[in-house]
Amino acid sequence: MAKTASNLQIDSVRLWDTIHETAKFGATPKGGVRRLTLGPEDKQVRDWFRKACEAAGLEVRVDALGTMFGLRKGRDMSKLPVGLGSHLDTQPTGGKYDGVLGTLAALEVVRTLNDAGIETDAPICIVNWTNEEGSRFAPATMASAAYAGEYTTENILARTDLAGVSVGQALDDIGYRGNDAVGAQKLGAFVELHIEQGPLLEAESKVIGVVDRGQGITWYDGKIVGFESHAGTTPMPLRRDAMGALAEVALSVERIAKAHGPNAVGTLGEAVIANPSRNVIPGEIAFTMDVRSPDADTLEAIDRDLRAACAEIAARRRVDISVDAIWRKPPTIFNDKLVDAVETAAKSLGYSNRRITSGAGHDACNLATVVPAAMIFVPCKDGISHNELEDATQADCGAGANVLLHTVLSLAGIVG
């Protein structure tokens, strides 16, 4: 006899065990996870995920960018599935929860419905999106962006990593270039559970973040060209030092983001010196920048100020500085109805909650441009993420998964 759905709870021990079981794929000595997209560790977790989905009775399909869909039939298969999930790839010094919680909580929702013998009216579909992190291949959230029509599949397949390996080649290397066209699996809605990756929920002792907004993001590729010359014989006034210019660019990013604060952030996260040598003045440096704000006008203003600062540094230091905006993600406004469904679920389950804007980018932010979408946050310890110290509690992960379960049930309808 099926349990009544209203008192249904996920199995938080099983979810916790699943999170820690998959953390072994790419486990690092410091307790983090290094699972770069489409690498060998990503293959391991993908193979694990496929088996777990099939064991839960899901029909697993993979699209041309490797995104994995696990479909649970509903009574009315003419209805579009309710989507839920996140990503299983991590940063180089990533943690156990970023993306993993949302993907495995989606699996836990299915397992819970199976155990309770509950059939939903609409089907549900759990999703593991390829390359949410954007660390190995830019941009971040590339597969869900292609699903939302922002890029063609060919454009994404041709993207390369620093070693010159393309997305297409990497997919073939791990056997995850699927036969389905990107976008073939239609979704009627999408809900993503994620750790907050910031300090607010913990600081306010709130268990659930009802995410109604997401920051806009601009990613830049930059290049500084100066002049390589002898570190000992070149007088300081004659130098065209790319490293000195980079140092000023980095401080300008920080200054400009602060000037447009408090709701703006800017980071110079990568720098690669061409042919580095201790006794050669750097002549060429490639770098990247990440700028974010919930406000589109602020992003535009920061773009103008950054370009002006680079032009001034370049002229004064007699170097060339180029800055190319390779990804512009506008701020996200999540679907009111779904955000209300998340809030209603949190309240009915008795969890403390607050509305919150996501500082991080997520696949749900892309889905929100094509289907009704919303997100659920739970706290992470000290707000730390993209760091091997990333941590969360079993209770909070379980609470988030329960809110996910009841949000999905409110959207998919219950039959048995």
> Out of ligand HGY, Mn ion, none, which partner does residue 140 contact, by CB within 5 to 8 A per kind?
ligand HGY
Give 196 or 305: the residue with its C-beta nearer to Mn ion: 196
Both tokens of 18, joined, read 């699943």
Q: Which stretch binds ligand HGY (CB under 6 A): 26-34, 56-64, 130-138, 243-251?
A: 130-138
Angle between helices 394-412 and 100-116 (to 10 degrees): 60
Give 140 or 224: the residue with its C-beta nearer to ligand HGY: 140
Q: By rule CB under 6 A, what string of x and - marks binding of each residue 349-368 to ligand HGY?
A: -----------xx-------
Q: Which among 211, 195, 227, 243 is positioned nearest to 380, based on CA atoms? A: 195
Report, in Å, the least distance between residue 154 CB and Mn ion. 26
Q: With the C-alpha atoms ordered 91, 96, 101, 105, is the resulting torsion angle positive or negative?
A: positive
Q: Which among 147, 272, 294 is positioned nearest to 212, based on CA atoms? A: 294
Report, in Å, the least distance between residue 386 CB and Mn ion. 6
Report, in Å, the least distance between residue 316 CB and ligand HGY. 32
Give 290 or 343: the residue with its C-beta nearer to ligand HGY: 290
Can you tell me which of 41, 63, 108, 132 binds ligand HGY, judged by CB under 6 A? Answer: 132
Question: Buried b / exposed e across 149-185, counting CB within 10 Å, b at 16+?
Answer: ebbebeebbebebeeebebbebbeebebbbeeebbeb
Give 178 or 214: the residue with its C-beta nearer to ligand HGY: 214
Both tokens of 197, joined, read 């990756």
Query: Does the protein bind ligand HGY through residue 133 (CB under 6 A)?
Result: yes
> Out of Mn ion, ligand HGY, none, which partner does residue 399 contact, by CB within 5 to 8 A per kind?
none
> Out of ligand HGY, Mn ion, none, which partner does residue 361 contact, by CB within 5 to 8 A per kind?
ligand HGY
Chain residue whose CB lies nearest ligand HGY = 360
Query: Does the protein bind ligand HGY through residue 140 (CB under 6 A)?
Result: yes
Give 32 or 244: the residue with its C-beta nearer to Mn ion: 32
Give 71 or 140: the residue with its C-beta nearer to ligand HGY: 140
Report, in Å, the least distance between residue 79 CB and ligand HGY. 31
Give 18 or 90: the residue with its C-beta nearer to ligand HGY: 90
Give residues 237-296 in contact with ligand HGY (rule: CB under 6 A).
none
Give residues 77-96 in contact with ligand HGY (rule: CB under 6 A).
none
Q: Which stretch binds ligand HGY (CB under 6 A): 47-55, 131-139, 271-279, 328-336?
A: 131-139
Give 28 or 229: the residue with its C-beta nearer to ligand HGY: 28
Q: Taking every pair of C-alpha atoms in the chain, what is the biggest distance, in angstroms?
A: 85
Binding site for Mn ion (CB under 5 A): 98-99
Report, in Å, the least distance between residue 19 CB and Mn ion. 14
Chain residue whose CB lies nearest Mn ion = 99
Give 286 or 360: the residue with its C-beta nearer to ligand HGY: 360
Beta bridge partners of 166: 160
Query: Does the protein bind ligand HGY through residue 411 (CB under 6 A)?
Result: no
Contact set with ligand HGY (CB under 6 A): 132-134, 140, 360-361
